[in-house]
Amino acid sequence: MIALVQRVAQAHVEIAGTTVGAIGTGLLVLVCAEPADDDATADKLVAKLLKLRIFGDAAGKMNLSLVDVGGGLLVVSQFTLAADVSGGNRPSFTGAAPPELGRRLYERVVSSARAQHAPVACGEFGASMQVHLVNDGPVTIPIAIRN
C-alpha cells in the first residue's frame, strides 16, 4: 500500500459541499492499494500510522505518536498515488489495485484504525472529494508498505 501522511492542525473532507469527515490535530492519510496488497498489508499500514512518531514532545522534537497525543485520523482513498508518469505526460494508473480490491482494503484500513484508535474519520471510496487541511509544520511523509 502507498500512503501519504500529513500532520495537520485540522482537516476535513467534503462531498458535494457536505462535510463527511473531519478532525482537529492529527493525521490526514491519503491511501492507495496496489494489486499485491492484502488484509495483512492494510493492518501493517494502520500499525505504522498509529506508532509513527511525528508529533513534537515538550522539547519540540518529533518523538510522539498519534496515540500519544490523542490526535484524530482522517483516511481518504486516493488511487492517484500509484500514478506512473515515466511513459509520458499522461499518468498511468495500472499500479493501483482494481476498484473492488481497492475498496475492500480501504475499508479494512478504516475499520482496523477504528478498532484501535479514536477518533477516526474518512472520505468515501470512489467519490469526487474536496480535501481541506492545515498542514502542521509542514510535515508530509510518504509511506510504502509491501508484503
Give the ranges where 9-142 is alpha helix by DSSP (H).
Answer: 39-51, 66-69, 99-116
Nearest to 19 by CA among 118, 111, 89, 123: 123
Report which DSSP code applies to 129.
-
- Active-site amino acid positions: 78-80
The pTM of this model reads 0.95
Tens-place pLDDT, residues 31-45: 999 999 999 999 999
Percent with pLDDT over 70 in the chain: 100
Measured between alpha carbons, how far is 34 from 27 in angstroms, rounded to an integer?
22
Per domain, the residue ranges of the chain are 2-144
Tens-place pLDDT, residues 126-147: 999 999 999 999 999 999 999 7
Using alpha carbons, list the distances in angstroms from residue 83 to 28, 56, 86, 89.
20, 32, 9, 11
How high is the pLDDT of residue 73? 98
Using alpha carbons, list the distances in angstroms from residue 143 to 7, 21, 64, 128.
13, 22, 18, 23
CB atoms within 10 A of CB 53: 13
DSSP 75-100: EEE-GGGG-B-TTSSS-B-TTSPPHH
How high is the pLDDT of residue 147? 79
The x, y and z cell numbers of residue 93, run together, are: 494508473
**Superfamily, domain 2-144:** D-tyrosyl-tRNA(Tyr) deacylase (3.50.80.10)
Measured between alpha carbons, how far is 6 from 143 in angstroms, rounded to an integer?
11
Q: What is the mean pLDDT of the chain?
A: 97
The x, y and z cell numbers of residue 33, run together, are: 492499494
How confident is the model over 49-54, as a mean pLDDT?
98
Work out the pLDDT band at 115, boundaries 50, 70, 90. very high
Residue that the C-alpha cell 478532525 belongs to: 23
Work out the pLDDT band at 52, boundaries 50, 70, 90. very high
